[in-house]
Structure 1
Amino acid sequence: MTGFGTRHRTATIDGLEVFYREAGDPSKPTLLLLHGFPSSSHMFRNLMSALADDYHLVAPDHIGFGRSAMPSVNQFSYGFDRLTEITEQLIDHLGLERFAIYIHDYGAPIGLRIASRRPERITAIISQSGNAYTEGFTPFWDRLFAHAADRAANEDSVREYFTPETTKWQYTHGVPADRLDLIAPETWLLDQAGLDRKGNDAIQLQLFWDYQFNLDGYPAFQEYFRTHQPPLLVTWGKNDEIFGAAGAEAFRRDLPNGEFHLLDAGHFALETHGAEISGYIRDFLGRL
């Protein structure tokens, strides 16, 4: 790979097209970037440009998101175990031996499954609202957990999370007034276009329902933290009302030597605090 510009590529994994962005020199330390709901690898576009001179960065779109394949719920078993399997196969396809992971939202249960199963591959963890503790759940999750308990009775309620108003709210809520104009409006418009694709609502409802099983993995994730003590950098929006700041602080219990930065930001902190976060990452990874 020549130059530091981001390349936009596709790999075939289990017969499915997996889109990914790649930047930097593969001989340099690798950072795997795992996005959340309702976004895609697009959320890492600026971070990749900022770090590509010194790092190799790979950011896939999960199946059902972004430019990756979107088979129907009858064609693909949408769940976090299956999304992890696809990500692991992409890692092998790309020949990534050791790498740091950047986990955000849905990317956390995927990345932490990978890390806890193959701890020798993980050089560090960077968490931006990448939850691993029950303390991180806010009232935003009440209707999602109600939906997990009774899908039929609560489907209409959780469908409100697919609306343009909610998508924009996820980007703008908790952002200081003087930083709102840093958020490019195409961010939430792009996410909304993904949500509005025919059949995507069924996919997202299935993932909403499956999320409950991620909590079953929390003991294993936390045991991995305690046993292996991976270097940790937390860059979390303290005003995030999806995964609250208590979820960031909870990491201190098992990783007391971690580096913690609670930013005056919301859920998508990279949009408003990208320069600060890229600086923290350079300093953090540079010390490993």
Structure 2
Amino acid sequence: MSVFDARYRTAVVDGLEVFYREAGDPTRPTLVLLHGFPSSSHMYRVLIAELADEFHLIAPDHIGFGRSAAPKVDEFTYSFEKLTEITLGLLDRIGVDRFAIYIQDYGAPIGLRIASCHPERVTAVISQSGNAYTDGFTPFWDLLFAHAKDREANEQAVRGQLTVEATRWQYEHGVPADRLDRIGPESWLLDQAGLDRPGNAEIQLQLFWDYQFNLDAYPAFQEYFRTHRPPTLIAWGRNDEIFGAAGANAFARDLPDAEIHLLDAGHFALETHGEEIAALVREFLRRVGEGGDVALAVDADADR
């Protein structure tokens, strides 16, 4: 089997099936890839193919996304705390003890909870539009935070974020005209197929509401940065209208040695700048690995 061949697997965690992609040699340094809304591990397919010759890669689908289980909202606690527990449970189940994390969007509050609670397990952080500072919030969030305060009054408007038009916008906004033709429509159509499953709208609305509690965790994330100084790479779309470029630059306050790249891209930078991001990640992981065994933390969706 070629090192580039991904394996598509399922593990049972807390009685739920968790789908994940795996590639590369398990004896090599591991990079855990944590996706955002409304995507799945599919968003990492190019990065996996680019890096599997040198690194071991694990990319799970969060519960409620992709091919993982999606129990109804009255059967499972849809919170970022619980998604973090499931992710840790998966890593323990498959024997991944030390790893770097690549975080994007929803992957950030999951990955940074893991890193701040288990700093000995995480050797590096890579963030692609993976927010850890309030600086990163744009006007896009005004409606979502209004929904957090009053769900009933704002639910109908928030449901607009679950439409195919909104999903396509997430992929295409901020992308230079000469790169738009790199976005395969199957990406946003696949995400939309997941959103359109019966009962999934209620799952997403619950996670929208729960997102407010991630902000309460930001001080702990920032203290983790200051105390443990994990090697950090930021690859962020400077044109991202969901998590703005200020959120990328904010990492430098607590991580003065962070490597920050603002790419001419939007929120899903891997779709248009996959090769460029892969090169940044490869060089970064090689460099931070020179001092010994490495576990890398990465935040996805950065483009150049």
Residues in 2 aligned to 1:98 and 1:52: alpha-carbon distance in whole angstroms: 17
Question: Which deviates more from structure 2 when the two are superposed, residues 1-10 or residues 107-116?
Answer: 1-10
- Counterpart of 2:142 in structure 1 is 142
Residues in 2 aligned to 1:2 and 1:18: alpha-carbon distance in whole angstroms: 24
State the aligned residue count. Answer: 288
Is 1:248 matched up with 2:255? no
CA RMSD of aligned residues (A): 0.7
Report the TM-score when normalising by structure 1. Answer: 0.99
Deviations 1:91-142 (A, max 9, x none): 1011111110000000000000000000011110000000000000000000
Residues in 2 aligned to 1:27 and 1:95: alpha-carbon distance in whole angstroms: 12
Residues in 2 aligned to 1:18 and 1:4: alpha-carbon distance in whole angstroms: 22
- Matched-pair identity in %: 74
Residues in 2 aligned to 1:44 and 1:12: alpha-carbon distance in whole angstroms: 22
**Cα pair 1:195 1:201 within 8 Å, conserved:** yes
> 1:187 is paired with a residue of what secondary structure?
helix
Q: CA deviation at 1:3?
A: 3.3
Is 1:90 matched up with 2:83? no
- Counterpart of 1:277 in structure 2 is 277
- Counterpart of 1:174 in structure 2 is 174
- Counterpart of 2:299 in structure 1 is none
**Cα pair 2:18 2:69 within 8 Å, conserved:** yes
**Cα pair 1:4 1:25 within 8 Å, conserved:** no
- Counterpart of 2:201 in structure 1 is 201
Report the TM-score when normalising by structure 2. Answer: 0.94
Residues in 2 aligned to 1:3 and 1:140: alpha-carbon distance in whole angstroms: 40
**Cα pair 1:2 1:25 within 8 Å, conserved:** no
- Counterpart of 1:161 in structure 2 is 161
Listed as ranges, the matches of 1:205-244 within 5 Å are 205-244=205-244
Residues in 2 aligned to 1:4 and 1:43: alpha-carbon distance in whole angstroms: 16
Residues in 1 aligned to 2:116 and 2:280: alpha-carbon distance in whole angstroms: 24
Unpaired runs of at least 5, structure 1: none
| Moved >6 Å (runs of 4+) | none
Residues in 1 aligned to 2:72 and 2:14: alpha-carbon distance in whole angstroms: 15
Is 1:14 matched up with 2:5? no
Q: CA deviation at 1:6?
A: 0.5
- Structure 2 counterpart of 1:203, which letter? I
- Structure 1 counterpart of 2:284, which letter? F
